[in-house]
Amino acid sequence: MDSASIEFILFGLTAAAISLFSRSYRWRAIVTFAASVVFLCMLSQSAVAIAPLAGFLLLGYLGLLMIERGWEKHSVFSILAVILAYAWLKKYTFLPEAFFLRVPYFILGLSYIFFRVLHLLIEAGAGNEKRHIGIGSYLLYTLNFTTLVSGPIQRYEEFAGDQFALEPIPLGPRVIGLQLERIVRGFFKVNVLALLLNMVHENAFLELTQPLPQDQKMGFAFLLTVSYPFFLYANFSGYIDIIMGMSRLMRVRLPENFDRPFSSPSFLEFWNRWHITLSSWLKTYVYNPLLMLLMRRIPLISLEVYLGVFCYFVTFFLIGIWHGRTSEFAVYGVLLGGGAAINKLWQSTLTATLGRKGYRALAANAFYVAFSRGLTFSWFALSLFLFWADWTQVGIICRNPAPAYWAVTWIAVWISATVVLAAWEHLRVLLLSVRSEEGPLLTDRYVRVAYASVLVLTAAMVMIVMNEPAPAIVYKAF
């Protein structure tokens, strides 16, 4: 059962329908837990293979119990143990290979479980949250089938607030309709848009390996660069749409993970809109503590900006290396960190030069925003080469077309992104300005029904014609 397939959706909808038999939080928790166990069993297909994951969860829970029993001062050891266990299970290359398990085991979703467990340990260790988390609640939070595979990374209190509420959050026909529409939209993104964009991307890469003239290769390099960010967005945000809809139908609200990221006018803003739960987790648990620590150690106001820049670099570098244990992801982290650091430095320099008012005026200028948006997209697209390609493929890309042509291609990507994304923003504003009495016509419920029907029809058509599954959810692998 793939995580964005019709089978998965039917599974989720069935679980949601069963959970609606009673408003009791116990019943809803039992249904969610049972569905999560079934889901896990279907994915792992072996009790032995799941043992390391169970061990990891147990380690996290023991750490939590220790802190609850008054061992707060030693919480750092629990945190380190969980980090080490994670690196060990993920086989990070800085650990000796001889230590790794030689048998195949199940770690799907481990990265997201890791963030949830760390969040619990850090919060408990900091003494912010005095609470007891039972083993059932802990397992429900960490193994919830809706968020197991690719997040989003939800805070425990938000999860528990909905999941264990005595009076569950309302679920009227309007909400059900909106969630069903969202599931349809997500399904369409994953199974149609991502499928087609993946075709474009793979085709462009293969064409680069063919003996073609440089100008033709430049065209394929352009397609290669622009198709992947959109593919990744359709693939990941589509999946998130599906599970958010499902979860809401089970009366649990998940945090948004995307907010029109390609509309972002800066790289820093982009990460407030792309994989939001990951970047806010790292902001809370890495950026803020690190910045505070450095500012305490180096109390020089003149260096404050540079400390911030450094902390951004570290945070985004961590985002990069979280994605994988190979050197490609380390370079990906450097590119993300570099982008964020330069962006921060640029903002600070402009503010110092133009003054706050001057900078605000510049940042509001439509042309400046459009070019910044284009630059953000092109930098992200360039960074993503290290995300999807291994070094051999990167070598092929660097040679095809020649570096001078690549420079032209990148400028073309920047300019095209500037123009196209600005045009899209204007179109969006224009479309939303068409209003009925109840609000924008496009968000009218009848329009939504028609829109969802078209998506279903198109998805059915493409799936029947193509007769092949869409690419797997990329973030499932992390």
Partner 1 sequence: MMSSNQSDSAGNREEKLPRREWLLFPIISLSTVLLVASSAELGARWLYPVSRVDFDRCFVRDDPSGDAPARPHGICAERTVESNFPAEYRFNARGDRAGTELEPKQPGVYRIVMIGSSMAMGLYVPRAMTFAALLPPALSSRTGHRVELYNAATGGKFRGGPFPARRSVSQFSEVFSAQPDVILWVITPKDFENAAAESEESPTPAAVGHASAADTARERPKNAWERLWSLVVSGNLGQELAGRIKETRTALVLNHFLIAHESQDQYVSSYLKNEDDAGFLRSKPGEKWARNMDAFKRYATQFVNQAKMAGVPLVAVLIPNRAEAAMISRDAWPAGYDPYKLGEVLRSMIEPQGGVYVDLLPAFRRIPNPERHYFPVDGHLDGEGHAMIARMLEEELANGRIPELRPIPEPRSSLAQGG
Q: Whole-number minimum distance, CB 447 to partner 1, in Å?
A: 8
Nearer to partner 1, 177 or 338 (CB): 177
Nearer to partner 1, 289 or 439 (CB): 439
Binding region for partner 1 (CB under 8 A) out of 78-86, 295-303, 376-384, 444-452: 444-452
Binding region for partner 1 (CB under 8 A) out of 196-204, 266-274, 372-380, 400-408: 196-204
DSSP symbol at 255: P
Nearer to partner 1, 147 or 378 (CB): 147
Q: Name the region of 256 (left: φ>0; alpha: ψ -120 to 50; beta: rest).
A: beta
Q: Whole-number minimum distance, CB 124 to partner 1, in Å?
A: 29
Nearer to partner 1, 7 or 256 (CB): 256
Closest to 474 in 3D by CA, of 197, 82, 256, 277:
197
Residue 443 touching partner 1 (CB under 8 A): yes
Residue 450 touching partner 1 (CB under 8 A): yes
Supply the angle between the helices 366-383 and 403-433 in degrees, to the nearest 10: 130
Q: Whole-number minimum distance, CB 177 to partner 1, in Å?
A: 8
Residue 10 touching partner 1 (CB under 8 A): no
Residue 328 touching partner 1 (CB under 8 A): no
Q: Whole-number minimum distance, CB 413 to partner 1, in Å?
A: 21
Determine the Cα–Cα distance for residues 64 and 125; give it in Å rounded to an integer.
8
Residue 231 has which token pair? 């593919």
Residue 108 has which token pair? 């799907």
Q: What is the radius of gyration, based on Cα positions, of the chain? A: 24
* DSSP codes, 82-116: HHHHHHHHTT-TTS-GGGS--S----TTHHHHHHH
**Cβ distance 409 to 215 under 8 Å?**
no
Residue 18 touching partner 1 (CB under 8 A): no
Q: How many residues form the binding site for partner 1 (CB under 8 A)?
A: 52
DSSP 3-state assignment of 443? helix
Q: Which of 27, 71, 405, 451 binds partner 1 (CB under 8 A)?
A: 451
Which residues pair with residue 435 across a beta bridge?
440
Residue 467 touching partner 1 (CB under 8 A): yes
Q: Whole-number minimum distance, CB 178 to partner 1, in Å?
A: 4
Site for partner 1 in 217-246 (CB under 8 A): 241, 244-245
Binding region for partner 1 (CB under 8 A) out of 27-35, 117-125, 137-145, 169-177: 169-177
Q: Whole-number minimum distance, CB 182 to partner 1, in Å?
A: 4
Residues of 291-306 as b/e, b for ≥16 C-beta within 10 angstroms?
A: beebbeeeeeeeeebb
Q: Whole-number minimum distance, CB 442 to partner 1, in Å?
A: 6
Q: Whole-number minimum distance, CB 456 to partner 1, in Å?
A: 8
Q: Whole-number minimum distance, CB 467 to partner 1, in Å?
A: 8
Residue 58 touching partner 1 (CB under 8 A): no
Q: Name the region of 473 (left: φ>0; alpha: ψ -120 to 50; beta: rest).
A: beta
DSSP 3-state assignment of 473? coil
Nearer to partner 1, 61 or 228 (CB): 228
Q: Whole-number minimum distance, CB 179 to partner 1, in Å?
A: 7
Determine the Cα–Cα distance for residues 463 and 474; give it in Å rounded to an integer.
20
**Cβ distance 312 to 337 under 8 Å?**
yes
Rounded-to-5 percentages of helix, strand, coil across the chain: 75, 0, 25
Residue 434 touching partner 1 (CB under 8 A): no
Residue 206 touching partner 1 (CB under 8 A): yes
Site for partner 1 in 247-306 (CB under 8 A): 248, 253, 256
Q: Whole-number minimum distance, CB 248 to partner 1, in Å?
A: 7
Determine the Cα–Cα distance for residues 412 and 238; give it in Å rounded to an integer.
28
Residue 142 has which token pair? 């960490």
Residue 184 vs residues 177, 179, 290, 415, 450: alpha-carbon distances, Å: 11, 9, 41, 33, 12
Closest to 350 in 3D by CA, of 335, 372, 370, 333:
372
Q: Which of 68, 72, 207, 304 binds partner 1 (CB under 8 A)?
A: 207
Nearer to partner 1, 64 or 208 (CB): 208
Residue 175 touching partner 1 (CB under 8 A): yes
Nearer to partner 1, 240 or 341 (CB): 240
Q: What is the largest CA-CA distance in the chain?
A: 69
Residue 420 touching partner 1 (CB under 8 A): no
Residue 456 has which token pair? 């279903």
Interacting residues with partner 1 (CB under 8 A): 169-175, 177-179, 181-182, 185, 196, 199-200, 202-203, 206-207, 210-211, 241, 244-245, 248, 253, 256, 428, 431-432, 442-443, 445-446, 448-454, 456-457, 460-462, 464-468
